[in-house]
Structure 1
Amino acid sequence: MKHSGFRRTWHRTRTAVGLPSLHFHDLRHIGNTLAASSGASLKELMSRMGHSSTRAALIYQHASQDRDKAIARVLGQAFKKAQAGGHKKPSGTQRARKIIKFQ
């Protein structure tokens, strides 16, 4: 598709969906922001976008209230599990403390 043909098609399409001021690059930004909020790592975002620097990928790492709540919920569940003795295997520190006590 030639640039002029794409431009006409893009203008008609964005007007038809009620987003006349949407830029084509905005789609890239939205897609990468959604990928970041879904849990994509910095390296994954860099690969997805074709960037070699972390600086560019960090632009898409917007903090959101929904993500903050999800993180807090997962941390809360992990804390409750730890309090309830959910760890079946002792940690390396716990094993080392037992060894030191017996020596």
Structure 2
Amino acid sequence: MQIQVNTDHNIEGHEKFSDQVKAKIADALNRFSRHVTRIEVHVSDENSDKGGMNDKRCLIEARLEGRQPIAVTHQAATLDLAVNGATDKLKNAIESTLGRLDSH
């Protein structure tokens, strides 16, 4: 499973942050690794100059072998919360998709 993390220019320490995000997603989606070929993560600070509530955004797109991509997004007050929320949503979406396929 290949994981690529993209950050906007407002995210500081993007190398260390990127490694943390990759580890978090790999751990959360480990059991689906034979079905997932690629994951793209896009993390951004929507209005970094102003600050504010829920201005951190994480969009994750997962490519499942032989299926349409699954994309989820989550906005939160911190980058960690945004990544955690999007990861949880993606995990649920993949479970739902693969569960439906197993039932047929």
TM-score, L = length of structure 2 = 0.30
Q: Which has the higher helix share?
A: 1
Select the structure with the greater relative contact order (CA < 8 A; seq sep ≥ 6).
2
TM-score, L = length of structure 1 = 0.30
Q: Which has the higher strand share?
A: 2
Q: Which structure: larger Rg?
A: 1
